[in-house]
Structure formats: structure tokens, C-alpha cells
Amino acid sequence: MAQPVNAPQPGYQPATAPTLRCDVCGAYPAKKVFFVSFVGLAIAHIQRSTRGTYCRSCGTALARDHTARNLAVGWWSIVGWLVTPFLLLINLPNRIRIHNLAEPQGQTAPRLPVGRPALLRVGPWLAFVILGALVFFLVSLGR
Ligand SMILES: [Zn+2]
């Protein structure tokens, strides 16, 4: 009996897209992402960025670190007030891309420690308290 012309031959393996592996731990699946954070230093600033291919675990660790840094020290410069909200928004799509990855497997090296979510860390809340006190002080001066 003849097979149809378009039928796959026995033993045929369909070509699959190359699987990206995490730059840190070697696990897959992984995606190329970019995170940026900002450290305000009154009249200067330091911009830090991380670009690479990361699994869900390592990517989550990096996203949380950059978010916590933005929330804690991003505001402390003249341009920090303007830049920090945009950086938080810029990081969000990559954070979602990492979050939607499947559980990493096949790691060949230790993963980055995930750590606590940014809003469960001390730094951002300390910054909010100090900024709130500063705004309250400045408003009370104007009365
Ligand atoms: Zn990883």
C-alpha cells in the first residue's frame, strides 16, 4: 500500500526551534530580556542594566532586584522623579515574559537566589516613608 505523498517518513523528527538556555544556570526554557534600574545621587545618577537570556527563576531574581532598586533609590535625584516611573514600566513587559515561562529544567549551574518580591523588601518602604516625610515637611513649610 502506497503512502500519501505528504506523509512523514518513518523515523522523521520535525525540526524544532533551538531552545534558549539561561545565561546563569543553563536551564530551559529561557527568554532574552532586559532590565534597567536607576540610582539617584542628588545631581547625578547611575543607570544599571542587565541584558541576557534567563530562565524563569533567574529572570525573576533579576526583575525583583531591579524593581527594588528603582523603588528604593531611583527617586533620589533631580531627574529620578521623572525617570523612575518610566523604568518601572519599561521593565514590566520583560517581567511578564519571564513570569510566563515554564518551570526551568536541565540546569547546569546554580540559579540566582530569587529573594523576596520588591514590595516585601525594606528598601522601597524606607524610601516611601522618607519621601512622605519630606513631602509633608515641604508642604507644612508652605503654610
Ligand atoms: Zn537560570
Domain ranges of the chain: 31-141
The residue type found at 12 is Y
In the reported structure, the alpha carbon of residue 56 is separated from the centroid of ligand 1 by a whole-number distance in angstroms of 7
Within 8 A by CB and 6+ apart from 112, the residues are: 24, 25, 57, 58, 61, 62
Scanning the structure block, which residue is given the C-alpha cell 524606607? 126
Within 8 A by CB and 6+ apart from 100, the residues are: none
pLDDT at 40 over 80: yes
In the reported structure, the alpha carbon of residue 91 is separated from the centroid of ligand 1 by a whole-number distance in angstroms of 18
In the reported structure, the alpha carbon of residue 67 is separated from the centroid of ligand 1 by a whole-number distance in angstroms of 18
Percent of the chain at pLDDT above 70?
A: 87
In the reported structure, the alpha carbon of residue 78 is separated from the centroid of ligand 1 by a whole-number distance in angstroms of 36
Q: Is 42 left (phi over 0), alpha (psi -120 to 50) or beta?
A: left
How confident is the model over 9-36, as pLDDT tens digits?
666 655 565 689 999 999 999 999 999 9
If you average pLDDT over every residue of the chain, what do you get?
A: 89
How confident is the model over 57-89, as pLDDT tens digits?
999 999 999 999 999 999 999 898 899 999 999
Within the chain, residue ranges assigned H as helices are 56-73, 80-99, 122-141
In the reported structure, the alpha carbon of residue 76 is separated from the centroid of ligand 1 by a whole-number distance in angstroms of 32
